[in-house]
Amino acid sequence: MHLDAHTDTYAGDGNREYMRFNVATTFTRAAEEGVIDAEASIHVGARGSVADRTVFEHTRSKGYTLIDGDEMFKDGFAVTAARLKDHLEDRSVYLCFDMDFFDPPCAPGVCNLTWGGTSAREGLGFLRSLAGLNIVSGDINTVSPPHDLASTVTLEILTLFCFAKDLAPSRDA
């Protein structure tokens, strides 16, 4: 599960290495190289102006499910969380969280500010609503601790680990 203002699934076409391999092409290369199960993966929150207007279609063409930011806000956080839980309920989940999921005033230290994200209350509440998914690992990207909520996001993700069925201690132990 990838929560981000960007899909990081740009085509990255070109004959120069920096055009094919960069932060914007991470999930394209991962799908092409078979190191990720794109069909089971989901991107949430992508929005804003993008240099390549076909990036959402390209993301879906690689096999990923995409719930863009407009869809997330239109459907609401509870509906989006329920959709994620339905899509990922029987899987171990790696959570990739980019701080630009939040609106820039909440996380002004990110590399690529993108307006129209969640407020602190919405984004943290959304993370909490994912409790029950089998989140077994994760990462937080583009952090600037003096300027954003990265430490709070870290605490929320660590708390989600406590609810993961594969990591929770057995009641028999």
Q: What is the pLDDT of residues 118-171, one digit of tens each?
A: 999 999 999 999 999 999 999 999 888 788 899 999 999 999 998 887 665 565
Q: Domain 2-162 falls in which CATH fold?
A: Arginase; Chain A (3.40.800)
Query: What is the pLDDT of the chain when averaged over all its residues?
Result: 90
Could you tell me which residues come within 8 angstroms of residue 37 by beta carbon, excluding any fewer than 6 positions away?
Answer: none
Q: Sign (positive/negative) of CA torsion 74, 3, 152, 129?
A: positive
Contact between residue 42 and residue 66 where contact means Cβ atoms under 8 Å apart: yes
Render pLDDT for 46-69 as a digit per residue (tens, 0 to 9): 997 666 678 999 999 999 999 999
Residue 22, pLDDT score:
83
Greater pLDDT, 100 or 24 = 100
Measure Cα distances from 122 to 17, 70, 169, 171 in Å: 38, 14, 30, 33
Q: Is the pLDDT of residue 18 over 70?
A: no
Greater pLDDT, 171 or 1 = 1
Q: Is the pLDDT of residue 109 over 60?
A: yes
Render pLDDT for 36-46 as a digit per residue (tens, 0 to 9): 999 999 999 99
Greater pLDDT, 5 or 169 = 5
User: Domain residues of the chain, as ranges?
Assistant: 2-162
Q: Is the pLDDT of residue 106 over 60?
A: yes
Q: What is the pTM of this model?
A: 0.89
